[in-house]
C-alpha cells in the first residue's frame, strides 16, 4: 500500500478514556486526523451506528474479508469477538491527504507500529487504578457483569504491554491528559 500520511495509534484498556481522548484529537481540525473505522463482529451499542463507529459485520462476512486479505490487522479482542483494520479504510484516509488515528487494542496497536514504524506514533492511555476502570466501565452502562469481568481481565493483560509504546499517558485528570496528548501528537505530526 502506498504510504502518504502519518499514523497515530491510541491503545489502552477499555474504560481508560481513550475513546474520549481520540475524539478530542479528531475535533482539532489543524491536526488533519481522520478516525480509522474498524470492522467488528460485536453488537452495535445504543448510540452507535454502522459506518460511523464501526463497520458491524457478521462473523461470516468478517472471516470472508480476512480470507480475502482485506485487513491490515485483526484481533480476537474478546473470546469470539473480532475486530480489524480494513486496508480500504487506510486508502480512503490517505487518499484524501489526511493522517490516521487508530483506536485499537494493544496487539493491534503494536502491529500497526511494526508495519508503519517510521510514520507511526504509539500512545498508551492508562487508568490510575482498577477501581477507576471498574467505575468508568460501569457508568457506561453497556456492559453485562460477565463482559465487565472479561474487560477488566483484558485491561490487566494490556497494562503489561504498555512499556512497548512510544508514550504512556496516565489519564488521572482528563484536561491534563488532553493537553499532554495534544502536545505529543502536534509535535509528531509537524516533524519530518
- Closest CB to ligand 5GP among 151 and 187? 151
Q: Which residue is nearest to ligand 5GP (CB)?
A: 108
Side-chain half-sphere exposure of 103, counting CA atoms within 13 A: 23
Report yes or no: 25 and 101 within 8 Å, Cβ to Cβ.
Answer: yes
User: Is 100 one of the binding residues for ligand 5GP (CB under 6 A)?
Assistant: no
Q: Mask 15-44, x = binds ligand 5GP (CB under 6 A)?
A: -----------------------x---x--
What is the 8-class DSSP label of residue 76? E
What is the 8-class DSSP label of residue 180? H
From the list 41, 94, 108, 171, which residue makes contact with ligand 5GP (rule: CB under 6 A)? 108
From the list 5, 14, 55, 57, which residue makes contact with ligand 5GP (rule: CB under 6 A)? 14
Report yes or no: 73 and 65 within 8 Å, Cβ to Cβ.
Answer: no
Minimum Å gap between C-beta 5 and ligand 5GP is 18
Side-chain half-sphere exposure of 37, counting CA atoms within 13 A: 14
Q: Mask 171-190, x = binds ligand 5GP (CB under 6 A)?
A: --------------------
CA distance readout (Å), 70 to 6, 63, 151: 20, 10, 27
- Closest CB to ligand 5GP among 7 and 104? 104
**Which of 128, 129, 125 is closest to 101 using CA atoms?**
125
Helix (H) or strand (E) holding 150: helix 145-159
Minimum Å gap between C-beta 108 and ligand 5GP is 2
Minimum Å gap between C-beta 173 and ligand 5GP is 22
Distance in angstroms (rounded) separating the CA atoms of residues 74 and 3:
20
For ligand 5GP, which stretch binds (CB under 6 A), given 25-33, 78-86, 122-130, 167-175?
78-86
From the list 5, 8, 25, 105, which residue makes contact with ligand 5GP (rule: CB under 6 A)? 105
- Closest CB to ligand 5GP among 3 and 140? 140
Cell 499517558 locates to 169
Amino acid at each position: 500500500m502506498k504510504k502518504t500520511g502519518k499514523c497515530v495509534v491510541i491503545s489502552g484498556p477499555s474504560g481508560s478514556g481513550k475513546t474520549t481522548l481520540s475524539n478530542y484529537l479528531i475535533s482539532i481540525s489543524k491536526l488533519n486526523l481522520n478516525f480509522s473505522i474498524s470492522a467488528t463482529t460485536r453488537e452495535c451499542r445504543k448510540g452507535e451506528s454502522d459506518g460511523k463507529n464501526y463497520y458491524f459485520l457478521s462473523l461470516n462476512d468478517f472471516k470472508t474479508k480476512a480470507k480475502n486479505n482485506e485487513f491490515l490487522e485483526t484481533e480476537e479482542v474478546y473470546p469470539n469477538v473480532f475486530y480489524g483494520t480494513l486496508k480500504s479504510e487506510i486508502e480512503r484516509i490517505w487518499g484524501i491527504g489526511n493522517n490516521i488515528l487508530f483506536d485499537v487494542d494493544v496487539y493491534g496497536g503494536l502491529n500497526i507500529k511494526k508495519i508503519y514504524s517510521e510514520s507511526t506514533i504509539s500512545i498508551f492511555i492508562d487508568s490510575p487504578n482498577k477501581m477507576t476502570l471498574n467505575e468508568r466501565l460501569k457508568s457506561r452502562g453497556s456492559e453485562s457483569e460477565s463482559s465487565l469481568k472479561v474487560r477488566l481481565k483484558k485491561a490487566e493483560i494490556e497494562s503489561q504491554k504498555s512499556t512497548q509504546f512510544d508514550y504512556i499517558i496516565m489519564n488521572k485528570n482528563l484536561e491534563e491528559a488532553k493537553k499532554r496528548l495534544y502536545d505529543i501528537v502536534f509535535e509528531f505530526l509537524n516533524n519530518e
